[in-house]
Amino acid sequence: MDRLCEKLEGPDADKHLFRLGRERNTATTDIAEVMGTLLSPGNSPREIAIKKTWPESRDRNFEMIFLTGISRERHKNIVQMIYAFSNKRDDRICESFVFDFMPDTLGSLIENNTLDLVDMKLYTWQMFNGLQYLCQLQIMHRDIKPVNILVDHPPGLLKIGDFGSAKVVRPGMTSTPYQVTRFYRPPELLLGSETYNWTVDIWSAGCVLGEMIKGNVLFPGRDTKHQLKLIRRALGSPTEADLKDESKVKTKLSSILMKTKLDFSCDDESKESREVGKDVVKVK
C-alpha cells in the first residue's frame, strides 16, 4: 500500500511517497512495538524496521527529537533514524520511527549461545565505541541492555538502539534514579542518587559484557535489596570516597545494610569466566 506522510521528519526533512510491504511483528513491549517490512521509495527496496510508540504525555516524544538530531551526525555503532512520522488514532498519537533493519539483538545471540571469543571482543569494542560517541555529546542512554543492542551477526555489526530513556546531561541537573532495567542498574541509582551522568551506561555495558561471557544475567536481583547484595558480594562495599557528596545514597545504604543480612561469598563465580573476561577486554 502507498502511504504519504504529511509530517515526515529525519536527516532530510522532505515529504516522501513510499510503498511498504507486509509488516511482521519482531518485538512488542507495553509502550512500543517493532515491525519489520520492506521500504520502496523508488525502484530500490530496502529492509527496514518501524518502531511505533504511543507517548502518554501531550508533549512531543523526546526520542523523536533526539533521533532527528543525532541521525544528522552518523555513527556506525548508533542506530540511525531514516524517517519519523506521527498520526492520530482514537484520540492517541502514534509516533513511528523508521530504521534500517537489524536482524538480531545481543540478547538473542546470548540466549542461543551463538557468541565465541572473537564475537565477544568485536561486539564489546563496538558497544563501548558507541558509548564513547554518546559521552562526547554528553548524552546518557539509561537503558543499555542486551535486547537494546542491535546486531547484524554475519558481518559482525553492532548498533546501540532504543533511545526512549535517553537524556542530555547539563551542569547542576538532577534526574530520577528510577532508570535503567534493574539487572543493569548501577549501585548509585539503586541507592537513589539523583546526580548522575553518562557513566551509568558504562556500568550497564559492563553487565552486558559479563552476560556475554557467562551466558546469563550477571546480577539477576529479585528486587533492589537483592540486586545490591549480588553486587556487593562480587565487588565489596563502597568506600567513603565512593560516597563523597552523596549523603542521600549513604543514608539509604546504611539503612539497607542494617535491615538485610548479606552473604558475601563468591562461590558462583567461575575461574573460567574470569579468565575469558580478561581475554575479552585485553587490548593488543
Note the pLDDT of residue 164: 82
pLDDT, tens digit (0-9, with 9 covering 90-100), for 110-155 = 999 989 999 999 999 999 999 999 999 889 999 999 999 999 999 9
pLDDT at 85: 77
Query: What are the residues whose beta carbons fall under 8 Å from the beta carbon of 7, sequence distance 6 or more?
Result: 85, 86
Residue 226 has pLDDT above 90, yes or no: yes
For residue 83, name the pLDDT band (cuts at 50, 70, 90).
confident
Which of residues 56 and 155 earns the better pLDDT score?
Answer: 155
CA–CA dist 70, 65 (Å, integer): 9
Give the predicted TM-score (pTM) of the model: 0.75
Rounded distance between C-alpha atoms, residue 145 and residue 9, angstroms: 28
What one-letter code names the amino acid at 141?
Answer: H
Q: Report the helix count and the strand count for the chain, using DSSP H and E.
A: 8, 12
The CA distance from 200 to 131, in Å, is: 11
Highest mean pLDDT among 74-78, 97-101, 129-133: 129-133
Name the least confident of 82-96, 160-174, 191-205, 211-225. Answer: 82-96
Instruction: For residues 189 and 193, give the distance between their C-alpha atoms in angstroms, rounded to a whole number.
Output: 5
| Distance (Å) of CA 283 to CA 30, 121, 224, 232, 274 | 40, 10, 34, 28, 16
| C-alpha cell belonging to residue 146 | 542486551
Residue 273: per-residue pLDDT: 65
Question: What does residue 88 show for φ and ψ, rounded to 5 degrees?
Answer: -115, 130
Higher pLDDT, 6 or 257: 257
Which of the four pLDDT bands, split at 50, 70 and 90, describes residue 97?
Answer: confident
Neighbours of 272 (CB within 10 A): 10
Structural contact between residues 85 and 96, judged by C-beta atoms closer than 8 angstroms: yes
pLDDT at 259: 46
pLDDT confidence of residue 267: 46
Q: How far apart are CA 153 and CA 171, in angstroms?
A: 39
What are the catalytic residues? 143
Domains of the chain in start order, with CATH, are 8-100 (3.30.200.20), 104-279 (1.10.510.10)
pLDDT digits (tens, 9 = 90+) for 182-206: 999 999 899 888 888 999 999 999 9
